Chains A and B, each alone.
Chain A
Amino acid sequence: MLNMLKKYRFHILIWLFMFGYLTFAPDLYVRFVLKDGKPIQFHEKLPAATDMSSFWIDRIDPVVSQGQVLYNLWGWAFLREEPDQSQYERFIVLRSDSQDYYFLAQTNERLDVEEAFPELTIDVSNSGFSTLIAKDTIRPGSYHIGIIFRHQSGNIIYLVATEPMLVRTANQLQLISDNSQP
């Protein structure tokens, strides 16, 4: 046995290296290659979910950004009682039993939302949001999607719990929606 190991040590080493590479390559990719779609640190304690918001999670699309395959989560959300929505920055939180991931949301124009709520007196034309998520940065599992509104002063935080869930499988990120909306 030992003689065999000695005779084929070179080939054994090559295959050990390959299996080591296969094991650690995804982590190395996230650490050294991936630039976008990574979760951020969010240190504030989250409050209980509020029902003061109207929102909708539209869809999730694969997107290529600088050669990286990411996912873009689209939707819209606004605080019904807030006259100046621009005072709040928004985050997306993916929550499972064991882990939370936070992503910064980018604001998008949504004129269709403004038209859908003609009775509103507040400006919701920029209620749209999108956020880039790299699937390699979150563990496989199911996550509830939450929307966080944080006032620029940092003192006020609202958490909106949505119905759709984000499911990370081995190779995909999927939005599971039951099309419900408050």
Chain B
Amino acid sequence: MKKTFSQRLSLEALLNITLNRILYFLKPVALPLLLAVLPSFFHYGNNAAILLLSSLIRMIMFYGGVGIVLYIIILILNRGHSTQAANAAFVFLVFFNIYGVIYDSIFKLDIVQVEHYTLLPFLMLLAGYTSWFITRVKDSHSIQLWNNAVVILGVLIIFNVIKIIPAEIRKGEKTTTNESILVDANLSADPEYPDIYYIVFDEFSGFEPMRKYWHNQDVDDFVQFLKSKDFFVAEQSHGSSIDTRHQLATRLNYQEYRLDAPDAQKVWFDDIADNRAMRYLKSQGYTTVVFDEMQFAYQSAPPKNADYSFNYIQGDVANLGVFFDEFGVMIADNTMLRSLSGLYKLNDPTIEQHRNMVLFTAGKVADLDEVPSPKFVYVHLMLPHFPFMFDEDGNFVDPMFYQNWNYYLGNYKFATGIAEKMVDNILAQADPARPPIIILQSDHGARNLETESLNSVILENFPEEYKTSILFALYMPGYDTSTIPQDVNPINTFPIIFNHLFDANIPLK
């Protein structure tokens, strides 16, 4: 039945009233929402080069939800006065977001005892009262406060977004500084080429620091183990820096990189992902296999170009179990959620994933029948790199010690056990007529780096020169290893092998 003019008018009026009503409650939520997500934008903007956008999206969703829920609660308590409720939520969120900073400051001042069971209730009460006072401000002043705060927060977020966009674009681009590979045109693929295993243990200290600083005599057992298997062991090898990305780029491309070059990190990432050594081996008929944990430390590290990849992959956004990754933990530690840090740190499934990757790699590296030979197997494990989560038997230690360098030794011993297992497995399954080449290395030594965490404990009187002391052990039957000096430069790792195997005539540095 056709509506009359008056019926249509009343329907439109009703719709208008409803819309206005919805806007009345929805519009003010912009203020607490902006403040709730600002820390995530700020911290992501400062670390965009090494983080994934999905981490930011997760945190925006989570803290946006916190802001909205807080607004709704205050709106109900404030009997529907939306602008005042928004201002009150804004004030409460200020306290929420700076709780961690206040806690750390009082803790470090060390004048007054501070505990979560005292500071949290006190600040919540203070935040509650401050929010309540804000709701008693006159309407005109409330609206003015809301307007000014929204503008300021909006500008801050836009400023951070402006920082983030170019970083995201750069991450998506690919650059390389590699020169063309010099390949001897007379070389031909030889089916009898040996399998090559390049195994990198991140932050595995050289043996001299182990003996002299840690007084760890077990390291001699490891050296003896390697020598009994006919490994050459360099006792004095040092990397040229303590940056993982710089070192891996240097060795995989056997060229020097400047530490201070523009966009250096991106260049290193790209040259690791598409590196000279693997391209050369591919040209020689090798199948390339990668076991890579680089993303455990550098989430935005691009995957390597390889025929087979077994990579550490952090859980996706849909998996709430990995909701608080390292970025999420950093944000949460600054807020009132810090008092519940045991929940989001102890149950971090990325820790379980890391352990699984280590154990999986230790077994699978020698079980690659499905991969045609000759194969080049690249392994990069973030072990004994922190978090120092393992004791020497591979059991988890409490998260409180993940950044305590007194727990590095347990992690190191566990790593030694993994290395021995890998060597045994590889040699056990190898064809005696075609023995493999095995390189055990570390990118850098124990760096004794202090972090911002209150649980960060560094070693006392740790010599600076020990930080670049690395593991360098080479198994290459048929090669006269007496020609390799004890202080071999690891940049020569692949030139030594390629010159021996392929007569590549690559000059050593």
Contacts and interface: CB of A to CB of B under 8 A. Distances in A.
Nearest to B111: A170
Contacts of A15: 125
B112 interface: yes
Given A14-B125, A61-B404, A64-B400, A26 B118 contact: yes
A22 interface: yes
A12 B74 CA distance: 22
Interface string A19-35: 00110011001000000
Contacts of B406: 59, 61
B117 A64 contact: no
A64 B342 CA distance: 10
A34 B217 CA distance: 39
A83 B112 CA distance: 48
Interface in A122-178: 169-172
Contacts of A169: 110
Interface string B207-233: 000000001010000000000000000
- Name which of A21, A63, A112, A171 has the most chain B CB atoms within 10 A of its CB: A171
A63 B110 contact: no
Interface in B98-122: 106-107, 110-115, 117-118, 121-122
B457 interface: yes
Nearest to A59: B406
Interface residues of B, number: 24
A118 interface: no
Nearest to B107: A171
Interface in A64-102: 64, 67, 69
B110 A172 contact: yes
A39 interface: no
Nearest to A22: B118
B401 interface: yes
Interface in B118-165: 118, 121-122, 125, 129
A50 to B, nearest CB: 27
Contacts of A62: 400, 404, 455, 457
B393 interface: no
Contacts of B110: 169-172
A29 B400 contact: no
A115 B218 CA distance: 12
Nearest to B125: A18
B398 interface: yes
Contacts of A171: 106-107, 110, 113-114
A169 B114 CA distance: 11
Q: Which bracket fits the contact residues of A?
A: 20 to 34
Contacts of B112: 170
A140 to B, nearest CB: 8
A130 to B, nearest CB: 13
A82 B175 CA distance: 70
B186 to A, nearest CB: 57
A169 B110 CA distance: 7
Contacts of A29: 115, 117
A26 B215 CA distance: 40
Given A61-B457, A115-B217, A18 B122 contact: yes
A104 B125 CA distance: 41
Interface in A1-53: 11, 14-15, 18, 21-22, 25-26, 29
Given A61-B401, A64-B398, 19 more contacts: A18-B125, A21-B118, A25-B115, A25-B117, A25-B118, A26-B113, A26-B118, A29-B115, A29-B117, A59-B406, A61-B457, A62-B400, A62-B404, A62-B457, A63-B398, A64-B400, A169-B110, A170-B112, A170-B113
Interface of B: 106-107, 110-115, 117-118, 121-122, 125, 129, 215, 217, 342, 398, 400-401, 404, 406, 455, 457
27 contacts: A11-B129, A18-B121, A18-B122, A21-B118, A21-B121, A25-B115, A25-B117, A26-B118, A29-B117, A61-B401, A61-B404, A62-B400, A62-B457, A63-B398, A64-B400, A69-B400, A112-B217, A169-B110, A170-B110, A170-B111, A170-B112, A170-B113, A171-B106, A171-B107, A171-B110, A171-B113, A171-B114
Interface of A: 11, 14-15, 18, 21-22, 25-26, 29, 59, 61-64, 67, 69, 112, 115, 169-172
5 shortest A-B CB distances, which residue pairs?
Answer: A170-B113, A169-B110, A64-B398, A64-B400, A171-B107
